[in-house]
Amino acid sequence: MGSSGIPIVDLSPFFRSDGDGDEGEKKKSMQVIAEACSDYGFFQIVNHGVPLDLMSRALELSTTWFQNNPDEEKLMSRPPSHLPLPAGYGRQPEHSPDKNEYLVLFPPNSGFNVYPQNPPQFMEVLEEIFSHLTRTGGVVESILNECLGFPPEFLKEYNHDRSWDIMTALHYFPATENENNGNSEHEDGNLFTFVIQDEVGGLQVRKNGEWIPVTPEQGTIIVNVGDVIQVLSNKKFKSATHRVVRKEGLSRFSYAFFYNLEGEKWVEPLPQFTKEIGEAPKYRGFQYKEYQELRIRNKTHPPSKPEDAIHITHYAI
């Protein structure tokens, strides 16, 4: 158990190359994950297949790039304006409560990335950690598949297209005195997200109306369930509300890796969580890209009242 109460799960049994690993250890880990996904929508993983020195190096280079380069240098890491994707460097508007700048990257060799050129090692490290997180994503997807009792490899076949995954390097600016520094709370709209955060922390998850800090633990990767899993499971697993609270005088650096779904996919509660057990569906079906377009509109054209922002409740029955 992590110091924040968010469970920490050892994934080493799922990565062993000497066969299937210890089934008892796997079963115990899956029980912890299933409880965490029902209770928090969050858990943390160690021995996750991503080298710890690579994680440290990625955070180090991200810190260097964001802090040492002028804006004109950062803006060079933007794709051509005709590309209809939120790729490359960006920054939240001054009036936004988020107060961060970011670098959005798609899978290596996708043709959509404009990598930073300085420091020169940054591109190589970004490609390497993207590849490792993709592999770990496949392992976590398989674990969630079994935790939910889906048919073998259901999620893998349903979600086979990895070209929609996104990784974002983030720099949250320090809070100022008396500033309302709690970033806008939200849920993630994808299957699940990996978060690598520095020692500054600031990530919080809401449970029973209270905000619980996800305390940084060296070598851990945070996993949070997204709206797609919540809908497929008819709310058996929770897409948790979370936020980042910026700290006074301290910058925060992190990576978020979004394990996504192909845009044309149809999302609705599955029969084993509805008609097969006599439960009514809690959501109407929708096309994934339709929902993502609504979520992007929240950011590009923020509603005048926060309660008017589109969430998964838009499809609630």
Per the CB < 8 A criterion, the answer to whether 254 and 222 are in contact is no
Nearest to 14 by CA among 100, 112, 136, 190: 136
Neighbours of 186 (CB within 10 A): 15
Does 17 have pLDDT greater than 80? no
In the chain, the N- to C-terminal Cα span, in Å, equals 36
- Look up residue 159 and give its DSSP letter: T
What would the two tokens of residue 292 be?
A: 């993502």
- CATH ID of 8-263, from 3.40.50.970, 2.160.10.10, 2.60.120.330, 2.70.70.10: 2.60.120.330
**For the chain, what are the domain ranges?**
8-263
**Choice between 5 and 259, residue whose per-residue pLDDT is larger:** 259
C-beta separation of 105 from 167 below 8 A: yes
Q: Is the pLDDT of residue 306 over 90?
A: no
Peptide bond into 119 cis (omega under 30): yes
Angstrom distance (rounded) from CA 194 to CA 167: 9
Cβ-based neighbours of 118, under 8 Å, separated by 6 or more: 65, 69, 73
Q: Is the pLDDT of residue 82 over 70?
A: no
Q: What is the pTM of this model?
A: 0.93
Band of pLDDT at residue 181, cut at 50, 70 and 90: low
pLDDT band at residue 90 using 50, 70 and 90 as cut-offs:
confident
